[in-house]
Amino acid sequence: MGFLSAIKCIFGGTPSGDAVHGPEAVADKTLAADDVPAGGGDADLLLRLREAAPRLSVWLGIVLEGVETAGSLLNTRLLFLLRALDVPEDEARTFALDFDDWLRRMDYRLVEEFCSELQYRLALALDLEDEDDERNRLFVKISEGLARTREHLTRRLDTLFASHGELDDEFWKNMGELFIMADMGYETSLALVERLKNSARRKGVTKTAGIRDVLRREIEDVFAAPCRISAVNPPEVLLMVGVNGVGKTTTIGKLAHRARMQGKKVMIAAADTFRAAAIEQLQVWAERTGSLFYAKPAGTEPAAVAYGAMEAAVKEGVDMLFVDTAGRLQTKTNLMEELTKIRQVLGKKHPGAPQRTILVIDATTGQNALSQTKFFKEAAGVDELILTKIDGTAKGGIAVAVALEHGLPISFAGLGENSEDLRPFSGAEYAAALFGESGGGVKQQRPKAGNGHMSVKVLLLVVFLSL
């Protein structure tokens, strides 16, 4: 079933139970007849698309020419593009309706306000996130996000390399101190220096002139994620953990948005029942992303919320269930017991759940992120990390420290406030951006977040347009 068919099913279903809330149904809406080009559409526009470089941003730029605001012309052009990509008519219309509904909820009118979001949605729906053009756009965001960290690190590296010619003991000592100042921590800095020494020795590098490339490649290796079985019996349950204030609620919303754009039916469960406004904030995100929402009154036992949400998710045929949890480190013992209970009730109701336990950490907290990772790894069995607020810190080196010290993969990085600013993390691109190199064409193994549904058609069209 295609992405847009999945959206139609999501909006078409009526959730049962007082605690489960779904998005306002939009499947019955229709576009006016004059919103849609008759027949094959505008011949000149189609010719321009055929002659253009086979890139999503180029195609989108062509169809949006002359479109200044949301409305009938935008719908017409968007439907034209989807038809040119041979997307089934019902799926194309549902995509346009869903986007139009989102524009109204967000109160966006001008193209510059929503163009980036539209490209992001199309890239996910068409499975074009690995397209070079889209990767270049992502790399720019990563590079901009690491600008402050890069400024600090490269300046110190340049000074260090200029003051040493040989890779002697004094050089390695100063290198370790540099890493510590980059907020990588003492133990991690020593470990990274040792790895660099061994790597330089194996490659026969004896001068400082050759160590920069060795350093970049070593940092890439730090982020190498192990292979694992990604298939699950739905629903896939993601247990979200992290201290208060790291951006966990926003991250859940962004992940839900991403999954929805990939055609998944999503439910968000509010198991943090003690923090003020936590339930209300999650409900806003559920409504914004078109996800189902499960909650109980404030003060309810979190494990009871998790159990009820698991039961509702199975009943509703949900693909992904996000379970929010509390993050009160001042009550360590209680929090550990609480997380253990939640894991137990989820697994009892749905064997294997939670399939992924994701820790959200704030890059601006520096060394505190290391202690948080250690605590939650012990308490909740963390599988992966999401690093938020990279765009607002000079402490981007904490990503290296956490990955090296705890051996956990980083799946996503938060690079801004918008939904599209939560992006798949790539160690190769992180290393390239950290050292100010060009890395937009670097390929990565994407974190599992859903299957694309239109990729074969898009590939065929790319070949067709290239002839």
DSSP symbols for 359-415: EEEEGGGTTHHHHHHHHHHHHH---EEEEE-GGG-S-TTHHHHHHHHH---EEEEE-
- Cα–chain center distance at 252: 10
Question: Could you tell me the pTM of the whole model?
Answer: 0.72
Contact 220, 195 (CB under 8 A): no
> What counts of helices (H) and strands (E) characterise the chain?
19, 9
Residue 295, pLDDT score: 95
Q: Look up residue 279 and give its two tokens.
A: 């339930």
Averaged over successive runs of 10 residues, the pLDDT of the chain (467 residues) comes to 40 43 44 40 81 84 91 91 86 87 86 86 75 58 68 80 88 88 80 92 88 86 76 89 90 93 92 86 92 93 94 95 82 77 93 94 83 86 88 67 87 80 82 66 43 35 33
Contact 285, 314 (CB under 8 A): no
C-alpha distances in Å from residue 460, one per residue of 56, 86, 92: 14, 10, 18
> Before 54, cis peptide (omega within 30)?
no
The CA-based dihedral angle spanning residues 16, 22, 28, 34, taken in that order and rounded to the nearest 10 degrees: 180
> Side chain identity at 208, as an amino acid letter?
T
